[in-house]
A and B are shown apart, each in its own frame.
Chain A
């Protein structure tokens, strides 16, 4: 590599190359350092999590961890209600946000006339900029009463949390999906239209499949944002660590998520206590879940890339 660069630039004086190479070396190593430090920091965070949280998995029997009772004062550390809470709120958010986000992106990218796009896009960017706690506050003050008036025993339910999370995930899903659609070459659309496909058939059968990997990233990043979110959810989900009844009704009961549990209880525990370890254990579980989602996304996208690479 280095030899080739020298050949190409053909320096008139030999001295000129030395400082250049020297500078290249410094820059290269700075960049390498930045890359390595990212890996290092993540590893250290994970090791720290492990050290603090590992005792939980040793000292609390597995059967207790998988029980349905979370009552730390009596040393009951059943994670199921928290897992169920996170699951319901997140799945609810995904079910709301993905179709809404994808259709909005399709509308913006493929159908809307330019003037509408120019009005809508800034609004979506503003939506992305609203601090999550403000959304949570909005949910508490405005959404919860609405949901209660529709017949739920309390307005602070999993569904309220899902709505707020969906709104937080929407801008991510919309803007990344729109980028993915934009990256689909016009030639594909022309090819489909020229055969006699309608605009909708073109979008559904050609544009969306071609943008698939980008759309998967959009959805995964959206979900990632939803899973990690804490404060807003804590405000509106009612904070009850119960396993909700199965079925559709589960959405309209108060729940408590893993993140909310950590945030709510971390302040009150003695450092090094079992409760403290269990909270870190929850952190480990969260870490593993998000890691799994990211790996899944990478796997999907990697598949798409490999296939597109074959074009050359």
Chain B
């Protein structure tokens, strides 16, 4: 039996008076890829950002219920948000490398978290992270070039390298391929597959094929509720809910 890395239990989320997530119960399996699908505005990003408390930066936001990471509720008052975000990394929809060198982008996390400040220790982390993100060969000769000069696919892999550099346990990806062309998309999907040996991955996507191709588990969201959650093969071939079926066939057909 595979263990649950994250257990979301009875989770509600509000923007002011608007309830964006309704009584969610989601198990996220360790070292597997969980895909979240659903129409625009159904709360996928909100859910993802609840897992590493990125929603804390929104003044009107309020969360209820539990998000258990290794059994510990991340909304407990004694949880250090900074440490939580180191353990639960995030890759965004639009590649967002800092306007600094490639090296400094990857070194950012290790530096701020005090893992290494400079020298070979840091060099090694940077090299290992870029290799993990399958970017090393393309950039090893120009580590001091500006990261924003890379093409979008490379930028997104750089953001993945930046995330893995701090050795997170979970990586959240919010539509990581929506700004990429098909070739870059495939390379990121391949990368996710490799990364799932070491990390637990949760990905939001609008692309049914991507969810079907690249994930082990799929959750279907609708208006802030989790309609169905099942192994990916099962959900796409034999959905239990009519809503799920009409959504995936509507999107595929």
Contacts and interface: CB of A to CB of B under 8 A. Distances in A.
A195 B96 contact: no
A195 B99 contact: no
A191 B90 CA distance: 8
Contacts, number: 78
Contacts of B243: none
A311 B54 CA distance: 26
B99 A209 contact: yes
B65 interface: no
A307 B146 contact: yes
A206 B96 contact: no
Nearest to B109: A195
B252 interface: no
A50 interface: no
B219 interface: no
Interface stretch (A3-11, A197-205, A265-273, A287-295): A197-205
A196 interface: yes
B113 interface: yes
A196 B148 contact: no
A28 interface: no
A193 interface: yes
Interface stretch (B159-167, B184-192, B201-209): B159-167
B197 interface: no
A195 B85 contact: yes
A221 B86 CA distance: 40
Contacts of B96: 185, 187-188, 190-191
B149 A311 contact: yes
A310 B83 contact: no
Contacts of B82: 196-198
B136 interface: no
B186 to A, nearest CB: 24
Interface of B: 52, 54, 57, 59, 82-86, 89-90, 92, 94, 96-100, 108-109, 111-113, 146, 148-149, 159, 162-163, 166
29 contacts: A114-B59, A185-B96, A187-B96, A188-B99, A190-B90, A190-B92, A190-B96, A191-B96, A191-B159, A192-B108, A193-B54, A194-B54, A194-B90, A194-B163, A195-B113, A196-B84, A196-B85, A196-B86, A196-B109, A196-B112, A197-B108, A201-B112, A205-B111, A206-B98, A209-B98, A210-B98, A308-B99, A310-B148, A311-B149
